[in-house]
Amino acid sequence: MKLLRAEFQNFRMLRDLQLEFSIDPNTNLTVIRAANESGKTTILHGLQWALYGDAALPDKGEGFRLHPIDWDEREGNRVPIIATVEFELTTYRRTSGEVRETRRRYRLVRSAFEEVDGGTRRFDSTVKLFALNETGASPIDAPEALINDELPPELREVFFTDGDRALSFIEADVALSTKRERVQRAIRSLLGLGVVDGAIKHVRKSAAEVNKKAKQVGGSDQLNSIATRLEAMENNREKLETDLEDAKQQFSAFDEKVDEVDREIAAALQKGDKVKLRKDLENARAEISQLDSQLAAANKEHSALFRGRSIATGLLTPVLVGAFNTLEELHNQGKIPNTTIPVLYDRLEAKVCICGETLVPGNPDGDNRRAHIQKLIDDNQRADEIQEIITDLYYSTKSLQGGRGAETSAWQEEFKKVVERRDGIQTLRDEAGRKLRALEMQLDSLPDTDIQGLRETRRRYKDLRDRYLSKQSSIGTQLTGLSREREVLEVERDRLLREQKRGARILAELEVTQDVMKILKSAYQRITNEELRKVSELMNSVFLEMIGADPEQGSMIQRAEISHEFDIIVYGPNDRTLNPDRDLNGASRRALTLAFILALTKVSEVEAPNVIDTPLGMTSGFVKHSILRTAVRESTQLILFLTHDEIAGCEEIIDESAGLVFTLTNPVHYPKMLVNDPGVSERRVVRCECDHRSDCQLCLRYEDVQFEL
Amino acid sequence: MADRYFNPFQAIDINVPVEFHEAFTRYCQRSADAVIDQSPFPRMVDLWFLSVCIASRLGLEPADITDYDTRKIIDGSIFGSDPWRVHTLMLIAIAKSGDVQVVSEPRQMMTLANGLAVAGLPKVIEMLKEGDAEPIWNLSDAVDSLLRKGVVA
């Protein structure tokens, strides 16, 4: 899908605005220049509302006003809100050996009414889709289905990205499981695994149906009883899985709420004399987070002691003396290293024997000698294989012998270091925890009612979050128990079926469902792993290019990957993990998340736009240019909302890559930020055709004038 | 990724008696969220291999694995990335049999290793459990003390 144009009426501050987007493959970039508060985020919301409805709005649209805040009720109490998006779809059809490309254009119109008498009431929106052709527009049924196919709603945050929001894939403030859930959801949606999921559910249903038949076989009360229990278990499993999914979503939602309230508390503390307390709290939390990462790394080092070579060396060196002596003896006897066959081969190759006689093929003497040498090689082949292994063994295990006679083994040295490291970090962590608790108590004793209210809200959200976490564990445990119990019962049921005359056929049917289930599950796993690897590799190369890191040159950032658990991990020298939130600067964090988003879009092979709000914030110089160039290259259609500061220094890249550039202005910025009076009384975003290098009467800003001076 | 090193155990299974499966589940990390202090071994093969080493160190006789109902925990391809383990298993086989020819018999070497693992597992489980701390500390202290004593049968 490529976006062609969008039009908004009465959507918040977009009272009447049209936007066009470049679809030229050579200049696939559209730049919408807009200062802060000039409708960038509103457009992002507007586009998503048009495509996905209220579900795409903050808090799923609950309490989210759509009409302009300064709507004059004299214009009527029912405000019509309309968002129109025109897009192009390219389809490919194979016909008589050729691939035929077809492009079709569509218009999607979503409208809703809000009643504004006193409060705000919004009625369900209506959406219509039209196929555009030269003669007009033909309506299409079920528009949601087409949008869901072309721009899966689960990937909404990938296609429509707020530069800051994008950091949610790596931000430290939310729980690991929440970040993981976000990455996992994005990747699984991208793979279209819903189809495989559906098939698994279908096979499960079929298995349940076959199990019902087992009840009707008759002849065995026990069989009937087991089949009935299995039926009840299947119903129980379905319910538990739904509850688990719900608990996971609720946990993530409340985790985000806790994070949101934390930010509100930080903002409230910003006021008055509490700045120091806010700083102290921030520092204490950052310190704890850093120490927790260090502790986790130290625990891993401890665990690695049981997979490394040193523990085997320490334990085995004394007991392998006999084996080492045997090898040494063979070495002293000249049987190691193994040289016989290589020497014979060398001679054949050189066509001259060790004794100086000819080995030239075609020469009768040479042929005879060659046949003799070949026989020698064949005869020695087996003995030589053993010798080869032993030669390799002798040289490779030299270091295993190194520990002989040492007072303490290398493992003991490593263990001592791990103990010191773990104990040291734990002491610091305890100290940091005490410090944070003291600050929290200080915070609790503040007379500020706003802060106390927020603290109370935080506590409630945290309680709910923890409750859902506990619910997840409890359901997970029940599901494990259920699955174990079911396995036992299924074996028993199958045994009883075998004893029944009519059981064989049912058993065969059950085996088929079990086989299909196995295949589907392994396919699900394989696809996930393969695609995950592809996204991970592409993300890594895009990320390293964006930040200009060269691992060969020993850069601080060596690589980034998405683990099998769906964590985004960044590695530094010696494979030490870096915490994206603490060890990376703002520009690298942004580059990492954008690289992830671009890699996902590319691997999905979905032709889709990437609409990104303020992607270059916190970046400058090389990284800024590199992010922009890489994003242009990796995206099929790139629509960027950029502030004047973000554009500064990137003009030449925009000259080369942008098919369309225009400017949005918020007239209320006059007279403080805008030079000229736009002559607009209401709050609305207005557009002019000024590009990244020009200004007009409408959009000329004071910063621009000062900059030019 | 293709393995760089020769691994004669590539196609041979590592089997463990069913009665030890619970220990493998409990003491090996099965996900990134695993509590390392409770599950010290990064992979099942690490617990298995340590059991082989402990049995060798303590001079325990290899168990006859055919006496047990066993289940595969993984196949020998796992050694592809750790060639030193292949070499160690060969050295153990040479030490036990006194014959270098054994290196050309991967199945025989694996039978010996599986037997040693079964003999060593109860000892490793004991090391994990005995002590007042979490399993990782109990095991670390036990290994440390074993190395200090220099006990060789």
Q: Is A466 helix (H, G, I), strand (E, B) or coil?
A: helix
Q: What is the pTM of this model?
A: 0.60
Instruction: Tell me the C-alpha distance between A40 and A246, whole Å.
Output: 33
Residue A255: predicted pLDDT = 86
Q: How confident is the model at residue A83 (pLDDT cuts 50, 70, 90)?
A: very high
Q: Which is higher by pLDDT, A401 or B7?
A: B7
Instruction: For residue A339, tell me if it sits in a domain.
Output: yes
Q: Which is higher by pLDDT, A647 or B80?
A: A647
Chain A residues with beta carbon closer than 8 angstroms to that of B46: 306-307
pLDDT at A637 over 90: yes
Q: What angle do CA B88, B91, B95 make, to 5 degrees?
A: 140
Query: Which of these, B10, B32, B40, lies nearest to B106 by C-alpha position?
Result: B10
Residue A21: predicted pLDDT = 96
Residue A440: predicted pLDDT = 84
Distances (CA, A) of B44 to B24, B29, B90, B110: 6, 8, 20, 16
Q: Tens of pLDDT along B64-119?
A: 988 888 888 888 888 877 888 999 999 999 998 888 888 888 899 999 999 999 99
Name the range with the highest mean pLDDT among A29-38, A113-122, B144-153: A29-38
Residue of B nearest to A418 (CA): B140
Q: How confident is the model at residue A396 (pLDDT cuts 50, 70, 90)?
A: confident
Q: How confident is the model at residue B2 (pLDDT cuts 50, 70, 90)?
A: very low
**Residue B41 DSSP symbol:** B
Q: Tens of pLDDT along A301-331?
A: 999 999 988 899 889 888 888 888 888 888 7
- CB contact (8 A) between residue A315 and residue B88: no
Q: Is B14 helix (H, G, I), strand (E, B) or coil?
A: strand
Instruction: For residue A633, tell me if it sits in a domain.
Output: no
Chain A residues with beta carbon closer than 8 angstroms to that of B143: 311, 314-315, 411, 415
**Residues B100 and B50 sit within 8 Å (Cβ to Cβ):** no
Instruction: For residue A525, tell me if it sits in a domain.
Output: no
Q: Tens of pLDDT along A218-244?
A: 667 888 888 889 888 988 988 998 899
- Record the tokens describing residue A283, joined without a space: 């520092």
The CATH number covering residue A76 comes to 3.40.50
Residue A451: predicted pLDDT = 80
**Residues A389 and B90 sit within 8 Å (Cβ to Cβ):** yes
Q: At which of A345, A365, A400 does a domain end?
A: A400
By DSSP bridging, strand A126-133 and strand A559-562 are: unpaired
Buried b (16+ CB within 10 A) or exposed e, A278-301: bebbeebbebbbbbebbbeebbee
Instruction: For residue A210, tell me if it sits in a domain.
Output: no
The neighbour count for residue A658, using CB atoms within 10 Å, is 20
**Element housing A377 (H / E):** helix A364-396
Contacts of A441 (CB under 8 A, 6+ apart): none
Residue A187: predicted pLDDT = 76
**Element housing B70 (H / E):** strand B70-75
Residue type, A452: Q
Q: At which of A400, A426, A443 does a domain end?
A: A400
Q: How many domains does chain A have?
A: 2
Q: Which is higher by pLDDT, A131 or A445?
A: A131
CB pairs under 8 A between A and B: 122
Query: Which of these, A509, A485, A318, A51, lies nearest to B146 by C-alpha position?
Result: A318
Q: Which is higher by pLDDT, A407 or A554?
A: A554
Instruction: For residue A360, tell me if it sits in a domain.
Output: yes
Residue A9: predicted pLDDT = 94
Q: Which is higher by pLDDT, A471 or A378?
A: A471
- CB contact (8 A) between residue A397 and residue B147: no
- CB contact (8 A) between residue A327 and residue B100: yes
Give percent above pLDDT 90 in chain B: 49
Residue A709: predicted pLDDT = 40
Residue B122: predicted pLDDT = 95
Q: At which of A350, A369, A400 does a domain end?
A: A400
Read off the pLDDT of each residue in A253-281 and give the average, rounded to a whole number.
81
Distances (CA, A) of A9 to A18, A261, B32: 9, 33, 49
Q: How confident is the model at residue B49 (pLDDT cuts 50, 70, 90)?
A: very high
Instruction: For residue A542, tell me if it sits in a domain.
Output: no
Instruction: Tell me the C-alpha distance between B57 and B71, whole Å.
Output: 25
Distance from CA of A409 to the nearest CA of B (A): 8
Burial class (CB in 10 A: 0-12, 13-18, 19+), A82: middle
Q: Which residues in chain B (18-37) have CB-CB distances under 8 A to chain A?
A: 29, 31-33, 36-37
**Residue A272 DSSP symbol:** G
- Domain extents in chain B: 13-149
Residue A703: predicted pLDDT = 65
Give percent above pLDDT 70 in chain B: 94
- Record the tokens describing residue A359, joined without a space: 């080995």
Q: How confident is the model at residue B153 (pLDDT cuts 50, 70, 90)?
A: very low
Indicate the range of A262-266, A281-285, A660-664 predicted with least confidence: A262-266
- Record the tokens describing residue A694, joined without a space: 């020009």
pLDDT at A642 over 50: yes
Q: Which is higher by pLDDT, A360 or A162?
A: A360
Residue A408: predicted pLDDT = 63
Q: Which residues in chain B (111-130) have CB-CB distances under 8 A to chain A?
A: none
For tokens 């002596």, name the residue: A325
The ipTM is 0.94
Read off the pLDDT of each residue in A407-436 and give the average, rounded to a whole number.
89
pLDDT at A425 over 80: yes
Residue A145: predicted pLDDT = 80
Segments forming the whole domain that contains residue A87: 2-23+37-155
Instruction: For residue A343, tell me if it sits in a domain.
Output: yes
Instruction: Tell me the C-alpha distance between A352 and A331, whole Å.
Output: 29
